[in-house]
């Protein structure tokens, strides 16, 4: 509106032509706020950034609040479109039944709306009781946050403060100037807090929008801050992961020194970005470690890494006492206590070194710290993952699984990086061979194209663990695979008696397991009992047609008959085994020999190419 007012005044002066009027118009123009503008307009069609708005009762009681808010967002969009190529669009304006202190509004807004489907969630709360130019009192937003707060225009205090600076004017002229100032100030504050969520750092020049103090002369951003805004908004409108944005911002900030930023604010933003990266890597929502405590926490983590748990706890408890409601600090305490090991006495001279004791079950102190972390951040999966890992290491699979299930129910709450947490759970499940649980995490995390998904399928096929099998529960799938592997290794070592005992025990534990039958097939084949071997392999395939080891062995058995018909049968068994289990190198090499016997050089040549691609070495003759 400031530009529109200036133009209107210029037209009046030109039409009437009087020198006194021209002087009057000049006085009015001198009192107009600056126009928001981008020095180097961005080319190309703008993208859309959506905003969902909540207005509290104090705002809705104001006259024309909705129109004024729409006007401010439109003015902000007029700046952001040429500045970073983004147009603001309001998705919906909602009533907000908010109560309490304005200082709690940002946390209340995050609790109310996760921000799904929009770029920002904007909460507009009642005005200040007095006029102020301190940006932090006019609005708030945090680096990489999706929620911002804007204080409504304080009509009487702001108007009274402006009146003292304006010349003697008619009521209509005064109203126009005040409206221009209102529009400029409210829009500057809105853009300021939006920019804060994109990593912008406080600027020293009072004419830049990210200066901590409002000025009617503010027009735009420094070039360094514009770079940060461009980088972050490009990632955000493309649904980039929070950790990815944090990494790119941190790299851009630290690429070179620049004196135009407020040093203290730069340090806080950098620390916040590092906190986000650390939290996302660990699969946490608790990213709000106080910037002032960041260096101290680095020291605490180093003490814990050195095994000085008591020293680390003493220092960390002091930090927690200063920030008792901070969930990230308590979660750090949870993690350190869970990973702490009792100090072993130094061995006496001549004593044989003892193997490290297996991890003990988490003690009451550690579990209490983790429970407190969950209480402070009830939507965070992090504490459950930490406790589950500790229980798993202690051998309590059932209790660990209970914690992991709780974590799975909360992963959707993560602001970003949920894929990493699902991937971590997949690896934890695979660490105990729980194929079914790992597959569930892969499906929920949409990781079907991951290497782990293919590995699980091959494991099921090679060791005979059908999906949904009745003879084995998910928590014992790993034990079954381990037993089959043990028996196979004993067979390879010609320890047939030991292999027989292992298979007998496996039969008792998992009656009807096809992997056990396929291994018995291998045992009988090496003993020279081809008929018994074939019967065992066929029994395995009758239970699970995808048992690749049984298919490979049946192919080998078929080649004992040198007839062309038997050779063809063997080839089909081997081809199916390879399709089900591409890393089964024995099947590839046996199939190559079968093609030689069948005098099929074209098939062997294709197999050799595929073998080279799969294993990185030539197919042996």
* Residue 582: count of CB within 10 angstroms of its CB: 18
Measure the CA–CA gap between 459 and 466, rounded to whole angstroms. 10
Would residue 463 count as lying in a domain? Answer: no
Residues 484 and 415 in one domain: no
The secondary structure of 223-267 as a DSSP string is HHHHHHHHHHHHHHHTT--HHHHHHHHHHHHHTS--TTB-HHHHH
344: pLDDT strictly greater than 60: no
Q: In what order do the strands lie in the sheet with 147-151?
A: 86-95, 47-55, 120-125, 147-151, 139-141
Q: Which residue has the tokens 């932090």?
A: 136
- 467 pLDDT exceeds 70? yes
323 lies in the same domain as 212: no
Q: Percent of the chain having pLDDT more than 70?
A: 90
Task: Read off the pLDDT of residues 318-337 as tens digits, 9 standing for 90 and up.
Answer: 999 988 878 888 999 999 99
pLDDT higher at 167 or 213: 213
Alpha helices in 283-417 (DSSP H): 294-305, 309-322, 327-339, 364-376, 382-393, 397-408
Residue 266 domain-assigned? no
**Residue 431 phi/psi, 5° resolution?**
-60, -25
The pLDDT tens digits of the residues spanning 139-149 come to 999 888 899 99
Residue where a domain terminates, one of 411, 433, 448: 448
What is the domain count for the chain? 4
Q: Of the given ranges (45-54, 277-286, 388-397), which has the lowest mean pLDDT?
A: 277-286
Judged against a pLDDT cut of 70, whether residue 24 lies above it is answered with no
d(CA 504, CA 519): 11
Last residue of one domain, picked from the residues 448, 465, 492: 448
* Crossing angle between the packed helical segments 418-431 and 451-463, to the nearest 10 degrees: 20
pLDDT given for residue 283 in this prediction: 54
49 lies in the same domain as 176: yes
Over residues 155-178, the mean pLDDT reads 83
* Residue 389 half-sphere exposure toward CB, CA atoms < 13 A: 21
Q: Is the pLDDT of residue 254 over 60?
A: yes
pLDDT, greater one: 601 or 5: 601
Report pLDDT for 291. Answer: 65
Same domain for 177 and 322, yes or no, is no
Enumerate the β-bridge partners of residue 569. none
The answer to whether position 7 is within a domain reads yes
Q: Are residues 408 and 442 in the same domain?
A: yes
pLDDT digits (tens, 9 = 90+) for 438-449: 999 999 999 999
Q: Are 458 and 583 in contact (CB under 8 A)?
A: yes
Stretch 183-210: mean pLDDT, rounded?
Answer: 95
Same-domain pairing of 485 and 607 = yes
- Both 45 and 184 in one domain: the answer is yes
Whether residue 321 is contained in a domain is answered as yes
Whether 50 maps to a domain, the answer reads: yes
* Residue 103 predicted with pLDDT over 90: no
Q: How confident is the model at residue 406 (pLDDT cuts 50, 70, 90)?
A: very high
Q: Phi first, then psi: give them for residue 168, nearest 5 degrees.
A: -70, 115
Residue 166 has pLDDT above 80, yes or no: no
Contacts for 78 with CB less than 8 Å, ≥ 6 apart: 36
Mean pLDDT for the stretch of residues 84-95: 95
CATH number at residue 196: 3.40.390.10
Per-residue pLDDT reduced to its tens digit, 550-587: 999 999 999 999 899 999 999 999 999 999 999 999 99
**Cα–Cα distance between 361 and 400 in angstroms, integer?**
11
Q: Do the domain assignments include residue 389?
A: yes
Least confident of 80-84, 98-102, 147-151, 225-229: 98-102
Which residue range is the domain that position 118 belongs to? 36-237
Verify that 306 and 180 share a domain, yes or no: no
Average pLDDT, rounded, for the chain: 88
Residues 181 and 47 in one domain: yes
Of 108-117, 191-200, 280-289, 373-382, the range with the lowest mean pLDDT is 280-289
Q: Which residues contact 538 (CB under 8 A, 6 or more apart)?
A: 550, 554
For residues 247, 251, 254, 258, the Cα torsion angle rounded to the nearest 10 degrees is -110
For 330, list phi and psi in degrees, rounded to 5: -70, -35
| 232 band by pLDDT with thresholds 50, 70 and 90 | very high
**45 and 18 belong to one structural domain:** no
What's the mean pLDDT in 453-477? 94
Q: Within a domain: residue 285?
A: no
Residues 436, 521, single domain; the answer is no
Q: Tell me: do 417 and 527 sit in the same domain.
A: no
Q: What is the CATH number of the domain that holds 422?
A: 1.25.40.10
Kindly report which listed range (353-362, 478-487, 574-583) carries the lowest average pLDDT score.
353-362
Share of the chain above pLDDT 90, in %: 69
Query: Taking the C-alpha atoms of 21, 26, 31 and 34 in order, what is their torsion angle to the nearest 10 degrees?
Result: 130
Note whether residue 539 is domain-resident.
yes
């Amino acid at each position: 509106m400031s530009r529109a007012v200036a133009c209107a005044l210029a037209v009046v002066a030109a039409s009437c032509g009087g020198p006194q009027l021209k002087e009057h118009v000049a006085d009015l123009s001198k009192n107009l706020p600056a126009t928001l503008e981008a020095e180097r307009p961005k080319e190309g069609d703008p993208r859309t950034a959506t905003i969902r708005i909540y207005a509290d009762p104090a705002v809705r009681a104001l006259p024309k609040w909705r129109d004024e808010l729409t006007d401010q967002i439109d003015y902000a969009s007029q700046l952001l479109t040429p500045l970073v190529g983004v147009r603001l669009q309001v998705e919906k304006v909602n009533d907000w039944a908010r109560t309490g202190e304005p200082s709690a509004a940002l946390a209340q807004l995050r609790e109310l709306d996760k921000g799904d489907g929009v770029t920002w969630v904007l909460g507009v709360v009642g005005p200040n009781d007095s006029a102020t130019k301190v940006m932090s009192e006019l609005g708030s937003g945090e680096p990489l946050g999706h929620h911002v707060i804007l204080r409504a225009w304080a009509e009487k205090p702001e108007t009274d403060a402006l009146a003292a600076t304006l010349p003697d004017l008619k009521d209509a002229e005064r109203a126009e100037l005040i409206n221009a100032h209102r529009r400029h100030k409210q829009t500057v504050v809105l853009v300021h807090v939006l920019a804060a969520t994109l990593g912008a750092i406080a600027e020293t020049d009072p004419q830049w929008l990210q200066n901590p103090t409002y000025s009617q002369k503010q027009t735009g951003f420094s070039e360094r801050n514009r770079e940060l805004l461009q980088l972050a908004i490009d990632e955000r409108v493309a649904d980039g992961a929070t950790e990815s944005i944090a990494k790119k911002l941190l790299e851009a900030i630290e690429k070179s020194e620049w004196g135009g930023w407020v040093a203290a604010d730069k340090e806080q933003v950098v620390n916040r970005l590092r906190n986000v990266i650390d939290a996302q890597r660990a699969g946490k929502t608790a990213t709000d470690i106080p910037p002032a405590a960041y260096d101290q926490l680095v020291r605490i983590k180093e003490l814990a890494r050195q095994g000085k748990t008591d020293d680390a706890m003493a220092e960390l408890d002091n930090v927690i006492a200063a920030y008792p409601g901070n969930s990230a600090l308590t979660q750090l305490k949870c993690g350190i206590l869970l990973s702490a090991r009792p100090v072993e006495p130094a061995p006496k001279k001549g004593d044989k070194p003892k193997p490290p004791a297996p991890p003990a079950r988490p003690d009451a102190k550690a579990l209490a710290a983790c429970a407190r972390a969950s209480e402070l951040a009830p939507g965070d999966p992090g504490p459950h993952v930490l406790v589950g890992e500790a229980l798993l290491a202690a051998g309590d699979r059932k209790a660990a699984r209970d914690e992991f299930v709780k974590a799975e129910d909360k992963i959707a709450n993560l602001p970003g990086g949920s894929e990493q947490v699902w991937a971590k759970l997949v690896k934890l499940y695979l660490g105990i061979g729980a194929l079914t649980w790992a597959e569930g995490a892969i499906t929920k995390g949409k990781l079907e194209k991951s290497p782990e998904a293919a590995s699980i399928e091959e494991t099921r096929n090679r060791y005979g663990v059908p999906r949904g099998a009745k003879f084995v529960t998910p928590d014992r799938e790993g034990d079954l695979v381990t037993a089959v592997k043990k028996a196979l290794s004993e067979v390879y070592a010609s320890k047939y008696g030991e292999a027989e005992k292992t298979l007998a025990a496996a039969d008792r534990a998992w009656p009807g397991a096809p992997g056990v039958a396929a291994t018995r097939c291998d045992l009988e084949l090496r003993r020279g009992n081809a008929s018994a071997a074939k019967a065992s392999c066929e029994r395995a395939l009758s239970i699970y047609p995808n048992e690749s080891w049984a298919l490979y062995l049946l192919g080998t058995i078929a080649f004992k008959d040198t007839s062309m018909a038997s050779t063809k049968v063997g080839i089909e068994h081997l081809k199916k085994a390879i399709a089900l289990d591409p890393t089964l190198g024995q099947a590839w090499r046996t199939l190559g020999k079968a093609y030689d016997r069948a005098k099929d050089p074209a098939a062997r040549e294709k197999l050799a190419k595929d073998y080279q691609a799969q294993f990185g070495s030539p197919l042996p003759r």
